[in-house]
Amino acid sequence: MVAWNNLDTLVSYKKLTELAKVDIKEAMTGEKGAERVKKYSVPMAEGMAYNFGAKQVDDDIIACLAELAEEAQLVDKYQELLNGEIINTGEGRMVLHQLCRGQLGTDVFEGEVNKRTFYSDVQKAIAEFANKVHAGEIVAEDGQPYNTVVQIGIGGSDLGPRALYLALENWAKTNNTLKMEAKFISNVDPDDAAAVIKSTDLAHALFIVVSKSGTTLETLTNETFVKNALVAAGLDPKKHMLACTSATSPLAQGEDYMAAFFMDNFIGGRFSSSSSVGGAVLSLAFGPEVFGAILDGAHESDKTAQNADIWANPAMMDALIGVYERTVLGHATTAVLPYSQALIRFPAHLQQLDMESNGKSVNRYGEPVNYQTGPIIFGEPGTNGQHSFYQLMHQGTTIIPAQFVGFKESQIGMDDVIEGSTSQAKLKANVAAQIVAFACGKDDEDKNKEFKGGRPSSIIIGDQLTPRSLGAFLAHFENKIMFQGFTWNVNSFDQEGVQLGKVLAKKVLAKDTDGALAVYSDLLEI
């Protein structure tokens, strides 16, 4: 059995706080800097690597992080999760998103149902449906094929699938596997749904309503909004609507859907890209094989996360360096900076994944913790960010650790040599330059032009952003965040912080307000 203890009760944590801090500028300068960068690298699935040469650590700190991993039983806890223990204690649920990607623990059952079989069967049903749509066996009212798929969902039903779609849209076009364009409706702002409806060929569009509970206000509202538009266009909603929901939700009982693809309570929204939530829209957009490749890549990451050796477990190394930065060094924010335009919405997905999972002040038992937990995450693709907020990162009064991402090759492969180098070479040169600029800085007599350095960063390096490497990349972060939650002893799998706003919004709509809330309602003319 594993023991769930607060971070500040662990011997290795106390030791960690007492170890000498590293001067990154000094450590990264000259030949010893080169040696560090070569050495401080952990291989990832799908040929990628997590390099932390420019992080504020040294051999002693890493050795202590390894002790912490052991004392906190991180891999044992992960194994318990894989084996179907109730890891989400607040809601009394298993945590099974990894099981969508393959079996790594013992068989897991809900009642009589083997959950691996359940998830596989859902994937097969989606693949069969998608293949029929692509083959023209399932067609719209006019006998013509469907050409667009629109996901109606919010939060985890939107950010992850959208980030994955955008990450592979150009790859799919280039590799002739873009079967249908995908669009997304998320916000309850009527302009969001209206804009999509107005720009979509409704007669040949499939809409996927995604809500695990079947009660999400925004999603049900947008579903009705879309159905009204379909009816107004003389179309039959039953020929255009699919559902991704749990078997017990109101949506599952509806007869209004062409098909319903189930998920369950053991997969949180922000971890649901691997379930039918991501599977339906991505299989329809790219074909089931592409979605399968994403899952395969993710499964490879899940395997590496089982390694007890921190030097062979990139998610655990990344996680513990992050805990050190957040809780020992006190950096509240982390910037996620992919040098890949395709990853434009990945920072928004990671923002949810990380901040919703570990933005907690109580431990698994509901007791307040006395240390800092999950960081604030933000980011934009490079090189764009270099011409924007990097100014503060280089010369501001707050240190922001950075997580860079770079790929050796582009996705589309269209490139030109301009002034002696390709655009891809320029892109890569910039990410390499930024890491060293943040770490080493530059002295200058003019203090306005001085860079103090000492800004820590890591980089994930891959060959190319493909379905498999994207899956591995996604799972790396899911597993990193899981390990961090274990280390902070918080429940990374509930989200009670989203409830109060819902309750108050209902009161406003019911005109059941007083005090400040009533005044804001008046000011906004609700």
325-344: which residues touch its own copies (CB under 8 A)?
332-333, 339-342
CB 207 within 8 A of CB 220: no
Closest approach of its own copies to the CB of residue 518, in Å: 6
Distance CA 293, CA 283 (A): 11
Residue 423 touching its own copies (CB under 8 A):
yes
Give least dist CB 10 to its own copies, A. 18
If the CB atoms of residues 123 and 245 are measured against its own copies, the closer one turns out to be: 245
Instruction: Report the DSSP beta bridge partners of residue 406.
Output: 339, 461
Q: Which amino acid is at 96?
A: L
From the candidates 198, 387, 447, 511, give the one annotated as an active-site residue: 387
Question: Is position 387 annotated as part of the catalytic site?
Answer: yes
Choose, from 14, 442, 502, 506, the residue flagged as catalytic.
502
Site for its own copies contains 28 (CB under 8 A): yes
Of the residues 377, 402, 460, 470, which one makes contact with its own copies according to CB under 8 A: 377
For the CA atoms of 442, 398, 343, 358, the dihedral, rounded to the nearest 10 degrees, stands at 140
Q: Which is nearer to its own copies, 31 or 112 (CB)?
A: 31
Q: Interface with its own copies includes 240 (CB under 8 A)? A: no
Q: Does 452 participate in catalysis according to the annotation?
A: no
Specify whether the CB–CB gap between 16 and 7 falls below 8 A: no
79 vs 410, beta carbon nearer its own copies: 410
Residue type, 138: I
Q: What is the contact mask toward its own copies in residues 503 to 522, using x (rule: CB under 8 A)?
A: xxxxxxx----xxxxxxxx-
450 is catalytic: no
Alpha-carbon distance of 345 to 338, in angstroms, equals: 10
Size of the site for its own copies (CB under 8 A): 161
Q: Which of residues 140-199 bind its own copies (CB under 8 A)?
A: 154-156, 158-159, 169-170, 173, 186-195, 197-198
List phi, psi (to 5°) of 460: -100, 125
Token pair of 213, please?
Answer: 């509970």
Q: Report the C-alpha gap between 133 and 180 in whole angstroms.
A: 10
C-beta closer to its own copies: residue 268 or 288: 268
Of 380-399, which residues contact its own copies (CB under 8 A)? Answer: 380-384, 386-398
Q: Helical H runs in 135-179?
A: 159-174
Site for its own copies in 45-84 (CB under 8 A): 49, 51, 53-54
Q: Are 469 and 405 in contact (CB under 8 A)?
A: no
Distance separating alpha carbons of residues 133 and 242, to the nearest angstrom: 13
| DSSP character string of 325-384 | IIIIS---EEEEEEE-GGGTTHHHHHHHHHHHHH--SB-TTSPBPSS--SPEEE---TTG
Nearer to its own copies by Cβ, of 131 and 333: the residue is: 333
Query: Smallest distance, Å, CB 241 to its own copies?
Result: 16
List the one residue from 127, 203, 217, 259 that touches its own copies (CB under 8 A). Answer: 217
Instruction: Please identify, using beta-carbon distances, which residue of 119 and 165 lies nearer to its own copies.
Output: 165
Among positions 60, 228, 231, 309, the unique one binding its own copies when judged by CB under 8 A = 228
Q: What does the per-residue mask of binding to its own copies show for 262-301, with x meaning CB under 8 A?
A: -------xx-------------------------------
Minimum distance between the CB of residue 470 and its own copies, rounded to whole angstroms? 14
Single out the catalytic residue among 356, 360, 428, 480. 356
DSSP letter at 258 equals: S
* CB of 145 vs its own copies, minimal distance in Å: 21
d(CA 281, CA 403): 29
| Cβ closest to its own copies, residue 142 vs residue 511 | 511
- Residue-wise over 264-300: b if at least 16 C-beta within 10 A, else e? bbbbbbbbbbbbbbbbbbbbbbbbbebbbbbbbbbbb
Q: Which stretch binds its own copies (CB under 8 A): 124-132, 218-226, 285-293, 316-324?
A: 218-226
Residue choice 355, 467, 476, 477 for contact with its own copies (CB under 8 A): 355
CB of 329 vs its own copies, minimal distance in Å: 14
- 505/497 Cα distance (integer angstroms): 14
C-beta atoms surrounding 24 within 10 Å: 25
359: left (phi over 0), alpha (psi -120 to 50) or beta: beta
Rounded to the nearest 5°, which phi and psi values hold at 461? Answer: -115, 130
Q: Which is nearer to its own copies, 134 or 507 (CB)?
A: 507
- Mask 103-142, x = binds its own copies (CB under 8 A)? ----------------------------------------
What amino acid positions are annotated as catalytic residues?
Answer: 356, 387, 502
